[in-house]
């Protein structure tokens, strides 16, 4: 798939972004986490706690079928949770003092209403994803109730299991990449500029369409790291999530021209 260079009218997306820029952004993200690890660990701890609470809810209510869609769907709100990490990177980049008040209070600033709206959008998508996952399971197996053993048997032994996994994962991948496309640039852009959530999401989607190969490889890499980090009781997220969050900010900086951001 060939990349499309931005036109003269499309000044919100920088030209010439490639794998080298992606590598540089990752290095900068690691450096930010190393410089201010306490904030990265604090925000990641919220994410880990959320994962553990989801596990407890599923086990306590016996709704085992909800385990995977909730765990996978929880990742969809990651860009919103990482707002504080973007603020750390922004302040470090601009030579500003990094304080707890600034980092933890970034969501509640009056001028950040569009960020709150983005959070609502992500929360709605999470609910839609869970409902779709339950619907797909019910269409294949007739009921969403059952023990862990029964569900495992349905998926691994029942002839319909393979088709269910293919359809379910395909739908999940489409939803996940859609969320990635509308947020990878949008959330840090809302923190950096006075734009509406619609403008930010439009720029984010345009960016992904402009550099499809590079952005798709980043999306796959993020998904792989998140899955790997969740295996040891979500504890791997304590290191993976901060690096991904800080890296996303530096990707934004490399994708959206700074002079455009300053002029907006």
How far apart CA 100 and CA 51 sit, in angstroms, is 24
pLDDT for residue 263 is more than 60: no
Answer whether residue 160 is part of any domain: no
The pTM score is: 0.79
CA angle 118, 120, 125 (to 5 degrees): 95
How far apart CA 183 and CA 186 sit, in angstroms, is 5
Q: What pLDDT sits at residue 131? A: 86
Answer whether residue 186 is part of any domain: yes
Q: What pLDDT sits at residue 15? A: 66
Question: Which are the contacts of 25, defined by CB distance < 8 A and separation ≥ 6?
Answer: 247, 250, 251, 253, 254
Answer whether residue 159 is part of any domain: no
Which is higher by pLDDT, 114 or 33? Answer: 33
DSSP labels, 115-172: HHHHHHHHHHHHHHHHHHHHHHHHHHHS-S---HHHHHHHHHTSTHHHHHHHHHHHHH
How far apart CA 198 and CA 191 sit, in angstroms, is 14
Q: How confident is the model at residue 64 (pLDDT cuts 50, 70, 90)?
A: confident
Q: What pLDDT sits at residue 191? A: 86
Answer whether residue 157 is part of any domain: no
Q: What pLDDT sits at residue 63? A: 72
Answer whether residue 163 is part of any domain: no
How far apart CA 141 and CA 160 sit, in angstroms, is 8
Q: How confident is the model at residue 38 (pLDDT cuts 50, 70, 90)?
A: very high
Q: How confident is the model at residue 237 (pLDDT cuts 50, 70, 90)?
A: confident
What total number of domains does the chain contain? 1
- CA 6 and chain centroid, separation: 25
Question: For 148-183, how does the pLDDT look when each residue is reduced to its tens digit (9 = 90+)?
Answer: 777 778 788 888 888 988 898 898 888 888 989 998
Answer whether residue 109 is part of any domain: yes
Percent of the chain, pLDDT > 70?
85
**What b-and-e string marks burial along 8-19, b requiring 16 or more CB atoms within 10 Å of the CB?**
eeeebbbeebee
Average pLDDT score over residue span 214-236: 82
Answer whether residue 236 is part of any domain: yes
Count how many Cα atoms sit within 13 Å of the Cα of residue 234 in the half-sphere of its side chain. 17
How many CB atoms neighbour CB 58 within 10 A?
A: 18
pLDDT for residue 122 is more than 70: yes
Average pLDDT score over residue span 181-201: 89
Average pLDDT score over residue span 29-33: 95
Q: What pLDDT sits at residue 85? A: 92
Answer whether residue 5 is part of any domain: no
Q: Which domain holds residue 35?
A: 19-131+175-263
How far apart CA 206 and CA 109 sit, in angstroms, is 27
Dihedral, 37, 43, 46, 50 alpha carbons, nearest 10 = -110
pLDDT for residue 115 is more than 50: yes
Average pLDDT score over residue span 238-262: 82
């Amino acid at each position: 798939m060939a990349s499309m260079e931005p036109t003269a009218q499309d000044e919100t997306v920088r030209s010439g972004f490639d794998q080298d820029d992606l590598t540089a952004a990752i290095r900068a993200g690691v450096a930010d986490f190393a410089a201010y690890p306490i904030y990265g660990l604090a925000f990641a701890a919220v994410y880990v706690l959320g994962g553990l609470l989801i596990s407890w809810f599923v086990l306590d209510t016996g709704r085992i079928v909800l385990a995977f869609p909730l765990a996978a769907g929880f990742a969809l709100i990651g860009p919103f949770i990482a707002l504080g990490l973007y603020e750390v990177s922004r302040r470090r980049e601009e030579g500003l003092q990094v304080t707890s008040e600034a980092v933890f209070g970034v969501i509640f600033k009056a001028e950040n209403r569009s960020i709150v709206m983005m959070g609502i959008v992500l929360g709605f998508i999470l609910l839609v994803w869970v409902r779709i996952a339950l619907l797909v399971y019910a269409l294949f197996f007739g009921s969403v109730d059952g023990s862990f053993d029964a569900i495992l048997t349905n998926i691994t032994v029942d002839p319909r299991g393979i088709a269910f996994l293919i359809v379910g994962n395909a739908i999940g991948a489409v939803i996940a990449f859609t969320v990635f496309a509308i947020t990878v640039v949008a959330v840090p852009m809302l923190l950096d500029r006075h734009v509406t959530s619609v403008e930010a999401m439009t720029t984010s989607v345009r960016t992904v369409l402009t550099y499809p190969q590079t952005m798709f490889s980043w999306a796959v890499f993020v998904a792989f790291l998140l899955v790997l980090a969740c295996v040891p009781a979500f504890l791997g997220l304590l290191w993976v999530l901060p690096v991904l969050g800080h890296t996303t900010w530096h990707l934004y900086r490399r994708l959206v021209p700074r002079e455009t951001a300053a002029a907006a």
